[in-house]
A and B are shown apart, each in its own frame.
Chain A
């Protein structure tokens, strides 16, 4: 690695340093806001708490129950995020279900639920500390589907007017005016917002897949693990070591790049030298994916890991409530994507990359160092995937299999946009992101099938336009 850096100092340094500098600048501007809350554990563990209708089992809050379902109750004071013990909560539901629990020393209580359905959770105001009122709805309706353990019913207590701050968790879904049917805008706009955010996060990773495919012909099935790696680096730096979040994101970017570089140096470059075909290489990548995934599991365990972040509403645009990171992540994504676009179109190395993707032999014949281009693509792909992973850590909890589940979305996005086209990857990602969130509105399809919608669209696209939206026909052969 040292010799390689010495022999090609300019390009690698330029690429990493430019990305890093720009990044530090953007992230630093925001770091003061959220580092204050870095210690507090996010109560909103499901993805995009402002709109998500899928109750995701919350890590840590789920006491093991024998029932198939359970509701996890967590009561905290909004100001200092301290837990409120001895608060009485009554849960009523279908077929006369009624039970009362008292929160423990950690402010939590778990209610086992035998039957699925909508349950009403009521926090008894007389049992909470004096002078505080419940933020958000009380009582609130909680939807329990089959197998949902620890469906969140989280309460924040504050001294402001009730409802001034939307309480986090699923229960603060856009229909804050409980009782009324949400309007079309209230249902669709938040989904468009989260869909675009998620699409941008996927786009960062997709561009790496597309570039690696374009320059080497390899479909990297281990790319999801680069995303997981970034998410875990971000978690370790910000969540475990309690460093500010800009540092976590920056480390994910840098270490992701290093990881990509080492993968190319240690595995893919020697295999290219051996002249191993593309199909065996793809099988190597699934082996690598399996090994890496379970190495992450071995080190970090099977649980969801929550990077601490501020989950209160940061920006409200009509019916759309956005958390701090829902605003910052897309800005970072857009800046980085613009930078990548600039690098691809205007710099020498970007032109060389496109030349290699276009025709490798011709590029080599014109004096382009193909191996160097591929190495830079691996570094950039790894860095972008790492960045994507770290930002995903602020969007939803990461775990050892985050990347494995995102990988198929990445492939769907890249197929949709057109293999080997970086801009196609961006367009495809945004479409996939929107599709995932919009397909579940109004119960078109059950929310656990939202990934299925994206994958099904990919198959349909292959039927009618196999080269994708921006791809070229000669690649599909």
Chain B
């Protein structure tokens, strides 16, 4: 029996997906955990940010800095587009509009008539050009055992985690500031905050923008070492992010990050155990049937988390009732 999957699963701690999802989940925590916005379209923010970055880098040849500006602008515009019609309405309208908008983005980028820019269903490769050119690390193999990385992979990991830590500190400080107290006040009692003369809709919009930009930047961290695929940003991505956020604690800064690590390590471990059992004929499954199992696990885990531990690992129970 091959137990290599165990170290490989722990290698997920530094995988692009874990890093990118940590940042996007942090953005979702700003929306859902801190402000109480029910954003079911974080995948849409991720897709908009990722496409803004990849198209400007690969198709227009913009340098890294300007491509990042385009990412931020794309996410901000998407937030404004979604926020203006829905933020004055009740929470469930935002949820429906965001989930619909995320699907609109996914369908649109797959349209054949604009595939010269978006790459159609194939997505876009090669957004890493400038990023790898800046790599100061010598070109040797790093790591040990089955976990080895070349200099470019290590460079993405180091920069990725640095970005996540900077974003976490930023969100943490913001939530301790007067602005953060208003945001948390909106989650607890919107009318009370409004009666204090605060423009609740505008505060919600700011929160939507902040979380959306974090989602867009999360995709950039994912697609630099890998590639951009439109179908990676379907509704299941948003549901994964909710599982991550609720696992770690939606009302905390550390929760989404630790949640992302636990989520991907556990998912890889369960995949590895399944493969082991199937390959040794201990489970009567075909390899096609193996694929859906991780989604079933995530779906059930999400339900159980919300019902039995809505505050997650790090959260406080009294902050996690999400009355809406």
Q: How long is the Cα–Cα vector from A145 to B111 in the complex, in angstroms?
A: 10
Take A146-B120, A277-B323, A286-B242 as given contacts and tell me if A219 and B96 are in contact as well, using a CB distance cutoff of 8 Å.
yes
Can you name 12 extra interface pairs (CB under 8 A) apart from A219-B95, A446-B111, A446-B113?
A: A278-B91, A279-B36, A282-B38, A286-B302, A292-B299, A294-B296, A297-B295, A301-B288, A448-B111, A449-B107, A452-B108, A466-B89
Contacts of A289 in B (CB 8 A): 239, 299
Q: Tell whether A462 is near chain B: CB-to-CB under 8 Å.
A: yes
* Cβ–Cβ contact B306 & A459, under 8 A: no
B216 contacts the other chain (CB 8 A):
no
Q: Which of A119-127, A198-206, A408-416 is the contact stretch?
A: A408-416
Q: A477 near B90 (CB under 8 angstroms)?
A: yes
Judge if A354 is at the interface, Cβ distance under 8 Å.
Answer: no
Residues of B close to A116: CB separation below 8 A: 112
B233-253: which residues lie under 8 A (CB-CB) from chain A? 235-236, 238-239, 242-243, 246
What's the Cα separation between A278 and B84 when bound, in Å?
A: 23
Q: Does A458 contact B (CB under 8 A)?
A: yes
Question: Which residues of chain A come closer than 8 Å to B92, judged between CB atoms?
Answer: 219, 278, 282
A96 within 8 Å of B by Cβ? Answer: no
Residues of A within 8 A of B322 (CB): 277, 279-280
CB neighbours of B40 from chain A (8 A): 221, 286
Q: State whether the Cβ of A434 lies closer than 8 Å to any Cβ in chain B.
A: no
Q: Among residues 449 to 463 in chain A, which have CB atoms less than 8 Å away from a CB atom of chain B?
A: 449, 451-452, 455-456, 458-459, 462-463
Q: In the assembled complex, how far is the CB of residue A273 from the closest CB belonging to chain B, in whole angstroms?
A: 12
Q: Tell whether, in the assembled complex, residue A147 and residue B121 are in contact, meaning their CB atoms are under 8 Å apart.
A: yes
The reply to whether A462 and B107 form a contact with Cβ atoms under 8 Å apart is: no
Q: Does A21 contact B (CB under 8 A)?
A: no
Listed in ascending order, the chain A residues whose CB lies under 8 Å from chain B are 116, 145-147, 219, 221, 271, 274, 276-280, 282-284, 286-295, 297-298, 301-302, 404, 408, 411-412, 415, 446, 448-449, 451-452, 455-456, 458-459, 462-463, 466, 475-477
Please give me the residue from chain B that is nearest to A217 by CB atom: B92
- Confirm or deny: B14 has a beta carbon within 8 angstroms of a beta carbon on chain A: no
B89–A455 contact, CB under 8 A? Answer: no
Q: Which of B47-55, B98-106, B171-179, B196-204 is found at the contact surface with chain A? A: B98-106
- Nearest chain A CB to B220 CB, angstrom units: 25
Write out the residue numbers on chain B whose beta carbons fall within 8 Å of the beta carbon of A302. 288
A455-B101 in contact (CB<8A): yes
**Contact partners of B104 in chain A: CB under 8 A:** 452, 455-456
Determine which of A283, A288, A412, A448 lies in contact with B110 in the assembled complex, contact meaning CB atoms within 8 Å.
A448
Q: A459 with B97: in contact, given A146-B115, A279-B322 (CB under 8 Å)?
A: yes
Min Cβ gap B201→A in Å is: 13
- Tell me the smallest distance from the CB of B124 to a CB of chain A, in Å: 15
CB within 8 Å for A291 and B296 given contacts A276-B307, A283-B306: yes
Contact yes or no, A295 B100, CB < 8 A: no
In the bound complex, do residue B100 and residue A459 qualify as a contact, i.e. CB atoms below 8 Å apart? yes
CB B196 to nearest CB in A, in angstroms, measures 20
- CB of B111 within 8 A of CB of A408, answer no
A411 to B41, alpha carbons, bound, how many Å? Answer: 15
The residue in chain A whose Cβ has the minimal distance to the Cβ of B105 is A452
Interface centre among B239, B299, B324 (most CB of A within 10 A): B299
* B91, B107, B291, B306 — most chain A CB neighbours (10 Å): B306
CA–CA, A293 and B113, complex, Å: 31
Q: Is B120 a contact partner of A455 (Cβ separation < 8 A)?
A: no
Of the residues B103, B110, B246, B321, contact of A408 by C-beta under 8 Å: B103
- Asked if B298 is at the interface of the complex by the 8 Å CB criterion, the answer is yes
B310 interface residue, CB < 8 Å from A?
A: yes
Q: Is the CB of A294 within 8 A of B89?
A: no
On chain B, the residues within 8 Å of A477 by CB distance are: 89-90
Chain B interfacial residues counted at CB < 8 A: 55
Q: Are A279 and B38 in touch, CB under 8 angstroms?
A: yes
> Chain B: which residue is nearest A283 at the CB level?
B306
Query: Which 9 pairs from chain A and chain B are nearest by CB?
Result: A291-B299, A287-B302, A290-B299, A146-B112, A287-B303, A294-B295, A294-B292, A279-B324, A455-B100
Asked if A284 meets B100 with Cβ closer than 8 Å, knowing A289-B299, A301-B288, A459-B85, the reply is no
Q: Which residues of B contact A290 (CB under 8 A)?
A: 236, 239, 295-296, 298-299, 302
- Bound-state CA distance A287–B235 (Å) is 11
> Can you name the residue of chain A whose Cβ is closest to the Cβ of B245?
A283
- Chain B residues contacting A283 (CB-CB under 8 Å) are 242, 246, 302, 306
Tell me whether A291 and B99 are in contact (CB under 8 A).
no
Please name the residue on chain B nearest to A270 by beta carbon: B307
Given A298-B289, A459-B85, check contact A411 B100 (CB 8 Å). Answer: yes
Residue B146 at the chain A interface, CB threshold 8 Å: no
* Chain B residue nearest to A412 in the complex (CB): B100
A463 CB contacts on chain B under 8 angstroms: 84-85
Residue of B nearest to A467 (CB): B89
How many angstroms from the CA of A167 to the CA of B80 in the assembled complex?
49
Q: Are A476 and B93 in contact (CB under 8 A)?
A: yes
Which A residues touch B323, using CB under 8 A? 277, 279
- Residues of chain A with a CB closer than 8 A to B1's CB: none
User: What is the CA–CA distance of A102 and B103 in the complex, to the nearest angstrom?
Assistant: 41
| CB of A136, distance to nearest CB on chain B (Å) | 27
Which of A280, A475, A476 is the most central at the interface, judged by chain B CB atoms within 10 Å of its CB?
A: A280
Question: A451 touches which one: B103, B235, B236, B300 (CB < 8 A)?
Answer: B103
**Cα–Cα, bound, A208→B300 (Å):** 24
The residue among A298, A448, A456 with the most chain B CB atoms within 10 A of its own CB is A298
**Can you pick out 24 interface pairs between chain A and chain B where the beta carbons lie within 8 Å of each other?**
A146-B121, A276-B307, A279-B36, A279-B38, A279-B91, A284-B302, A284-B307, A288-B299, A288-B303, A289-B239, A291-B295, A291-B299, A294-B299, A301-B288, A408-B103, A412-B100, A446-B112, A458-B96, A458-B97, A459-B85, A463-B85, A475-B90, A477-B89, A477-B90
**In the complex, what distance in Å separates the CA atom of A221 from the CA atom of B242?**
14
Chain B residues with CB under 8 Å of A282's CB are 38, 92, 95
